[in-house]
Structure 1
């Protein structure tokens, strides 16, 4: 191993070659009649020194100067994140290998960046297409109702009230979509700051149950909280955590079965965390959809989702809010057995 490492050093290479040349020269002269020991010594020393400096000079010309030129060329490119230095190259036993390794790492890094840019470009195109589609639906609906009224239906009181109510619902849906888009954009860019405080999760969930009581009653779905007695304090942004829980519980009611049950559980997870789970006994989510349900506008059943309302951004917003709480949401689902969302919050 020592020899392999030494053989990579230019000085060792020059030394070995010089010794070999001097040895061969002396061996050849030893067979010449009349050659004395003094002559052999002078010839051996001369050939050794000459060979050593000649080899070192050749290596310097062919290797180090060319590497220096290459390094200067790289520096002229102003590649700021090229983490190579002239000193580290020249000190290594095999400078070409060092340079090649550094360039390989750099190229691999740039390739990953290019792949990520391509992925983001594809995501941007899909997002713009989704936004355009989602915006067109309520706009065209409202336009249709209003133009029908303008064309004369306004004189019929029953039709007028009915169409105005439908137009208002379409515009309300458009308003909700724009608000969710703004909130999601602010969450992703970090503009929307979390205001952490001491929050009683039991009280927060009970208040949400009251808000969603009419929705649950319409689906004949029961809402149940499983938690230890007394307040359950966590460190969270109350407004954003309310948004998270409303989204999860509302989805459980909407997409669960009629006459179903939604259970929200709060459990201690060690000394530092509270685990929050929202579980329904609905039809479940097919396995092929589980990895994508937190994407913007992704719907498992598009037709049914449209009927149930919503902007298609709820779970994406939930994910980003929980990320801002240093938490990660997971989902467990089995067909015809229901779906469960889980995440953890820091105790307060």
Structure 2
């Protein structure tokens, strides 16, 4: 019996030592598989568990790196408009002659800070390994009206005319309203902020073929070179025209819009309209059901 059990005990001891070495190295080294019997199956199970642990640790490292990078970028983004805002408020205190111009600029910086903070909350949600969406029927026409009302004051003070139009028949979609509203807000704010005094921006919602909708945001600002249109949704990318007009910022607004659209199965396309500027189209399927609220995991 001792002679028969000796090889088995030796294999178990070698397996135990291999598992300990793998664990001490954060499961970086694989567990060797020896044989097709029960001990071999146990070794395969340990090796599979090690691979899963390595994958989880790698995902954790990626999340931590993304969080550190995002916090660093956001800190940079917030500090610039805060510094500018403090300067404008100092001008207001210094005298009333330059008060109006300083007040307009201060409001623009405050609006920009609010956009950054909202984007921080959205990025924290959609940067998860498996983002969770709280889907519910959303009145897209009402969402557009809210976005227009939020951005008209800053557009007016920057000298940009912001118009909008929605159809008489309601347009409903199944969406996470917080994420979708921030996505649309980012695109509208982009159309205002990268425009010029005397420029125009418009938000148009309409029913298209069948049960589909199109939400178009168009402006007559400096526009984007055709070669750069396909890169607008990249994280951190900013076109030459955008960098020239507003050198601060990390290029997250349109990236967030694209990520949110993808999570909802909504198309997002960039184009240059005939008169110049930038045209952004959200296209998707209308929602007609009365389903209860639900929280779903979204996979990309």
Under a length normalisation based on structure 1, what TM-score does the superposition of the two structures give? Answer: 0.52
User: In the aligned structure 1, how far is the partner of 2:111 from the partner of 2:188?
Assistant: 21
Work out whether 1:157 is the aligned partner of 2:103: no
- Quick one: structure 1 residues 278 and 167, their matched pair in 2 at CA, closer, same or farther if it must change by over 3 Å? closer
Aligned partner of 2:233 in structure 1 is 293
Matches within 5 A, 1:195-210: 196-197=136-137, 199=139, 201-202=140-141, 204-205=143-144
Q: Check conservation: 1:293, 1:299, Cα contact below 8 A.
A: no
Shift of 1:180: 3.6
Aligned partner of 1:347 in structure 2 is 287
Work out whether 1:267 is the aligned partner of 2:208: yes
User: In the aligned structure 1, how far is the partner of 2:103 from the partner of 2:270?
Assistant: 42
How many residues are matched?
274
Shift of 1:204: 4.9
Q: Deviation per CA, 1:283-319, whole angstroms, max 9, x where unpaired?
A: 4465567456253x64334434628x98854335435
Matches within 5 A, 1:154-303: 154=94, 156-159=95-98, 162-163=101-102, 166-167=105-106, 169-185=108-124, 194=134, 196-197=136-137, 199=139, 201-202=140-141, 204-205=143-144, 215=155, 230-236=169-175, 241-252=180-191, 264-268=205-209, 274-278=212-216, 280=218, 283-284=223-224, 290=230, 293=233, 295=235, 298-301=237-240, 302-303=242-243
> What value does the CA root-mean-square deviation take over the aligned residues?
5.5
Alignment counterpart, residue 66 of structure 1, candidates 2, 5, 10: 10
Q: Check conservation: 2:201, 2:217, Cα contact below 8 A.
A: no
Work out whether 1:135 is the aligned partner of 2:78: yes
Q: Deviation per CA, 1:215-247, whole angstroms, max 9, x where unpaired?
A: 59966787666x7x7333333455654444343
Shift of 1:69: 1.7
Q: Check conservation: 2:138, 2:173, Cα contact below 8 A.
A: yes
Shift of 1:178: 2.7
- Which gives a bigger RCO, structure 1 or 2 (Cα 8 Å, sep 6+)? 2
In structure 1, stretches of 5+ residues that fail to align are 1-52
Under a length normalisation based on structure 2, what TM-score does the superposition of the two structures give? Answer: 0.58
SS where residue 246 of structure 2 aligns? helix
User: In the aligned structure 2, how far is the partner of 1:202 from the partner of 1:211?
Assistant: 14
Which protein has the bigger helix share? Answer: 1
- Quick one: structure 1 residues 230 and 127, their matched pair in 2 at CA, closer, same or farther if it must change by over 3 Å? closer
Aligned partner of 1:17 in structure 2 is none
Q: Check conservation: 1:256, 1:280, Cα contact below 8 A.
A: no
